[in-house]
Each structure stands twice: as structure tokens, then as C-alpha cells.
Chains A and B, each alone.
Chain A
């Protein structure tokens, strides 16, 4: 998997993922990384919680048939220390099953946060110690402030700033605030050869 065998803190993959050696990835065959994603130490991804029931026709979602991805992560995501990505589960046709958790591109997950959403869009910032409840749908350009608890099944539309327990929309992302969601620069600041953040 890793091309460079130097003993750094991170394993850097061909597609540019930087995975800390101390990251906890369970069920890696069910985890999809889009590339250029940072997974810090003690961050946990529960790929083992894959779908158990066979998807019926029309309920398969966007996943390629047979792949049975539990957690799909886009490009330039940043999973901070101690966060956890956990697929949501529910009773479906009389039996319990997990359903996939999908993250878009440029998704930041803060330290100690737990995400059990159905989908998280692109350009989403999830602060520290946040809980995103099961089957929440978070659209693009959303900022979730530290300590929020997003209730299960919540839909958060684009350009929302949310906070509170349960989380509610407390403001709008201003027009000039879109670029702040970009994580390309942050990606360069971690890894075995970290670069300082540009001015």
C-alpha cells in the first residue's frame, strides 16, 4: 500500500493519502479514500460496519454493486486526532443493517468529533467535539461549530453555520467565506515532510 517505507509518523499512499500509523482503521476493505486525505493519529474509521442486508432494487444508492463500501471519503479531507467516522444503522425490512457514510471533498472533521451522517457534502467544516447524528444530511459549504450535536435525520442546507445542542442554523456563510473551506494548504502542513502554512 505504501510506496515510501521510511518510518515516519504517516504512511503516504500513491494517491497522496497521509494516514497516521496510529490511526485506527477497521475493515479497510470497506473504506474508500479519494486521495490527498489526511487521517491523524487515533482517528477511527469503522469500515467493519458495512451493510449486512442485501440491498434491494432501487435502494442500492450510488455505490457500485458488490463493492459494499461502508465509508467513502473524497479528496482533501482532514480527519483530526481522535475523531470517529461511523456508518449509521437502522432496521430495514425487519432486520438491522448499516448504511454507507459518504464524505465529499475538502471535509474537515475536528478533534474528538463523531460523524454518523448519511452524507456530508463538499467544503464542510466540522469543529471539535461535534456529534453528527445518524442519517444526518449535510450539504456543501456548511460550518458546524465546536461542541454541536446535530440531531439524527437533520438536513443542513448549503451555506449554513450551525451550532447548539441540538444544532440549529445560527447564520449564513458569507460570500467571502467560501475559500476558507479549501483544505489544500492544510494538507501540506502534515505528513512526514510537513510544510509551513503560507502567509
Chain B
């Protein structure tokens, strides 16, 4: 069995907004949301919807106006910069509209393995990517040039593509591909017969041909009406659309004037107009398959990565221009404040705004508590593997990032939800974590003594005892506590017994009506993971936020206000062994 790394996922409040705006009339404000009675609700981390709201802490942002967690799913993103991930050149949003979402310089991926392609002279020894500056003054090898992959050794000569010059490969390639350039005729004998040069054969080229044909048709038929003259945009004028609709629907009620015009138009019927008869004769493909075999066909992934659809054989695969990438800023979905904004330059890795949740809510780390005297000697505890029905203890460490002391209150259901109910006991569900006073390591030792005095007064020093109501250990800005679990047995008979027991027993855990018919199906994926839903409530006194208009003017510098944040999280403790 693979080893298991414990995890903590935190639930974003957008989970509630969805379920609640459906039930209520959707007039809730952030403040009323906070006052919602959370204690009544339970949370099943295995519920299908939970998939969409549970995130590791580092993926979460924190809106300091709403005082709420925000996740990648609910923030609204805005493009800051668009760039090519290979040449790292910035692309303007206007050229994005005209040129598309791929790099139009010389950046290509191998169609076979997606490795980067480099431009090389076909004649001379391999020369690395032309992106390196020192290539310019090297004794320039003569063309023709090809794209080569140094990972799988594919090169563009295999599909009969060679270039006259080593720059502007994108433009040269699209010329070759869309049949406007006849440079390929020199190497025509190696190219497959399916691609003849005269006729536009790619979807894009055919669309362009068809569009220009119909635009021309449209212009001809409307020359008198004054609606024309928009050239390329002829098709998007409303008049043109209604005329086309008339053609296709056969609905000529639009009047005699339109009818006469419609009759002047004809359909595309030659290959140059983008028209293509379906080739129902597959014998060429079959013989190709016979020649090249399985090896010569494309994989699903290769076909999917192509810019144009329809490649079936490896020699129909073209180099893939790199998809552009973006830098994005993020806004809070509720108050619309920007909560994350990177610097716009591609090479700059700093952020103007970066309100991350791990500066606002404690991190939770999980590690097994190894008892000094193992209860079952001889059995070495496998990492992350839990033995069914054997109590196991774990240390949860909460680390406070805030500059204020935080009171933490935890709540978990007595048994985990789902088919296999493991028992969960948090030994110390209420504790205080000291402020993240100073990160300076040299001061740390000096502060320690003072801290100890405070703790002695409070009477909650590190106990190193798994005792109810006592914390395990305490540090500068962290506290660890013990959680005890009794993993459920994954065997079906044991499961039934346990269900019966829990129903007869104190009646907590599963509600009676919840699962009338026990599901005795086989173990589902990751159903053997012991996952604890835990409700975390934080209370602290922080600097009063000044976002409200009309808060006491002047002296609010030192104003403190009570703050509170509560959320669910899912703690993955370990895998229950299937024995």
C-alpha cells in the first residue's frame, strides 16, 4: 500500500452561498452570512459537492474587507498580462484577438512528445534554439531550416516541412500549411498525398475561403442597398443574417425585394470556395494503415493537442505553436476588492497585492503520536496506515500567523460520516494560541521566559500527556493537541455490527433516518481514508477595521474589536488497513 501523507483541506464559504441562495431569496449580505447559525449544520467532506470547496490552505485567499476565506473557484479573475511561456514575450490583448491564443513567433512544441522544438539548419550540426542571442554572430549556417525535438528526435522534415529562414517560423509554417506558399513543392514527394497545395484543406483555411466566398456573394447582392461596404464584416450585419436565414429556411415571406436578392446568391461548390465533398473512400487510409501500422497512427493525446482537428496518422501531425499563458489578478466575489494582483511584467515575480489565507488563519499539521510503550509490541506502525478498531492518537499542531492571541474552539462529530464510521475524540477542543509576536530568531530565546510566565499564570503549559482538557505542547505561536481515533473496520460484517451499535447506543453519530438501507457495495476510491470533518472557530481581538463609514473618528488608532472566523475543514489522518 502506498504511503499516506496527512492533509488538511479547508472549506471556502462559497459552499454555503450556493446552497443558501437557493433556499432563501438571495438577499443575504456578508454580515448576515456570518451570523448564520453554524452550529446546526454538519459537514460531510465526502459529499460530491464538497469536492468543489475544499482546498489546501496555500490555495486560499483572504478578503480583509469581508473577513472571509476566498477560494480559486469563487474569486473573479482579470487578465493582467498575456505572454508566451516559451519566449516569455508579452502579447497585447488586441493582437490576441486578431492572432489567436498561440505564440506567433517561433515557439513550437513537438507534435509527438510535446517537448520544445528548436530551429536547426538541415545541413550543419545541431544548433540550439535561436532564442539564445549568441546565435546571431555565429558563422551562419545556410538553410533550409527545420524544427527539431531534442527529446524524441522528431523533426519537421518528417512531414516535409522546411523553412527558408530561421526567423518567423509561425508565419512561414502557416503559409506552408494553408497553401499560399509553394515552398513545399520542392519537397512534395515526401509529403502525403492527402495534402495537395492548391486547395485549402485545413478547417481554418476552408473556413476562411468559405467566409470570403459568402462575403463576396453578400456584397454582390447588396450593392444597391447601401448596407454593404463593410467588407469582411458583411456577414455580421443583420440584413445579411436574415437573407442567409431565408436561404436556409426556404422562407421567402420577406418580400419580393429580398426574394430577388436571395436568388442571386449561390452556395459554395468548388474546393477554392471552401467546399469539400466528403471523402467516403477510405482505401487510401486503409493502405496507409497497412503500411505504417499501429506506430504510424496518432494517439488520442497527440490528436487532441493539435491546433486543427482530424489528424489520424503521425505524418499528419504538425508542430504545435505554444499556447499563451496569463498573469491574473483576483477579486473578492462579494465586495469586489482586489485580493491578489501580480506585477504586470512577465519577468517580475513580485506581487502588488497578495492577501493569502495563511497570513490570517492558523495552519494545521498532523502527525502521529508514537506512544512510548507500543500497545502492540512487534508491530511496527506503518506510516499513515491505521489498524481497524485499534485506538490511535495524533498530534494536531495549530500555528497562529496573526499578531494577536487567538482563541480556538474545535468541534467534530463523534463518528466520521460515511459508511465506515470511525470514532473521533478531540482531547482538548478549546485553547488559546499566543500571537505571532516576532519572527526574529535572535529575540526568540529572550521572549521565551516571559512567555513561560504568562503560561504559568494561565495554567496551560505543555503537558505531554494525552489527557482530556490539556494541550500537548505549546510554543511561541503554536499549540499542539491530541486527537484520538478508533478507525472503523472496513469489513462489511463489522460495519453492520457497528451501525447497529451506534443506533442502539447513545444515538449520536448517524441519524436514524439517514441510512435506512446499508450500502454493502465494494470499497470505493479513497473510502479507506479516515477523514475527520472539523469545525474551527477563531476568536481574537484585533485592530478595528476602518472600512465602515462613520466609525468613531480620530481615536480609532488603538481601537480594538472582537473578531471571529469559523470554517469547516477536513483532516486526512491516514488509511485504514483492509484486513
Contact = CB atoms under 8 A, between A and B. Distances in A.
A151 B150 CA distance: 7
B126 A166 contact: no
A191 B133 CA distance: 41
A13 interface: no
17 contacts: A90-B128, A123-B349, A139-B349, A155-B86, A155-B87, A155-B88, A157-B83, A160-B85, A166-B113, A169-B325, A174-B72, A175-B340, A176-B57, A179-B358, A199-B365, A199-B399, A199-B478
B129 interface: yes
Which one of B59, B128, B357 has the greatest number of beta carbons of chain A within 10 Å? Answer: B128
A151 B115 contact: yes
Pairs A-B, 10 closest by C-beta atoms: A176-B58, A151-B115, A59-B134, A151-B151, A176-B356, A177-B58, A152-B150, A174-B59, A166-B115, A140-B349
A133 B399 CA distance: 39
A166 B113 CA distance: 7
Interface string A170-199: 000011111110000000000000000011
A176 B59 contact: yes
A106 B113 CA distance: 31
Nearest to B131: A155
A62 interface: no
Given A152-B150, A166-B115, A59 B137 contact: yes
Interface residues of A, number: 38
B351 to A, nearest CB: 7
B549 interface: no
Interface stretch (A19-27, A70-78, A91-99): A91-99
Contacts of B349: 123, 139-141, 158-159
A153 B60 CA distance: 34
B58 A91 contact: no
B58 A180 contact: yes
Contact of B116 (A149, A155, A157, A175): A155
Interface residues of B, number: 47
Contacts, number: 99
Contacts of B358: 176, 179
Interface string B85-105: 111100000000000000000
Which one of A94, A153, A157, A169 has the greatest number of beta carbons of chain B within 10 Å? Answer: A153
B139 interface: yes
A134 B129 CA distance: 11
A154 interface: yes
Interface of A: 56, 58-59, 90-94, 123, 133-135, 139-141, 149, 151-160, 166, 168-169, 174-180, 198-199
Given A59-B134, A166-B113, A199 B480 contact: yes
Contact of A199 (B116, B129, B357, B397): B397
Given A90-B128, A151-B150, A175 B356 contact: yes
A92 B138 contact: yes
B85 A153 contact: no
B134 A166 contact: no
A91 B125 contact: yes
A154 B83 contact: no
Contacts of B381: none
A176 B133 contact: no
B82 to A, nearest CB: 12
A134 B116 CA distance: 12
A151 B151 CA distance: 6
Contacts of A198: 475
Contacts of B80: none
B173 interface: no
Given A166-B113, A175-B340, A175-B356, A58 B137 contact: yes
A177 B478 CA distance: 20
Contacts of B356: 175-176
A156 B358 CA distance: 26
A44 B286 CA distance: 53
Nearest to B83: A157
Nearest to A198: B475
Nearest to B134: A59
Contacts of A92: 134, 138
Nearest to A174: B59
Contact of B325 (A94, A149, A157, A177): A157
Contacts of A140: 349
B329 to A, nearest CB: 11
Nearest to B339: A175
Given A90-B128, A91-B125, A199-B480, A154 B137 contact: no
B569 interface: no
B199 interface: no
Contacts of A135: 128-129, 132
Contacts of B129: 135, 153
Which one of B118, B149, B358, B480 has the greatest number of beta carbons of chain A within 10 Å? Answer: B358
B118 A153 contact: yes
Contacts of A199: 365, 397, 399, 475, 478, 480
A91 B135 CA distance: 11
Nearest to B151: A151
A187 to B, nearest CB: 12
B85 A176 contact: no
Given A157-B88, A158-B349, A56 B137 contact: yes
Given A93-B138, A140-B349, A199-B397, A154 B115 contact: yes
B87 A91 contact: no
Interface string B322-347: 00010000000000000010000011
B103 to A, nearest CB: 11
A160 B354 CA distance: 17
A149 B151 CA distance: 9
Interface string B344-385: 001101010010111000000100000000000000000000
B491 to A, nearest CB: 34
Nearest to B323: A169
B203 to A, nearest CB: 25
Interface string B104-142: 000000000111101000000111110111100111000
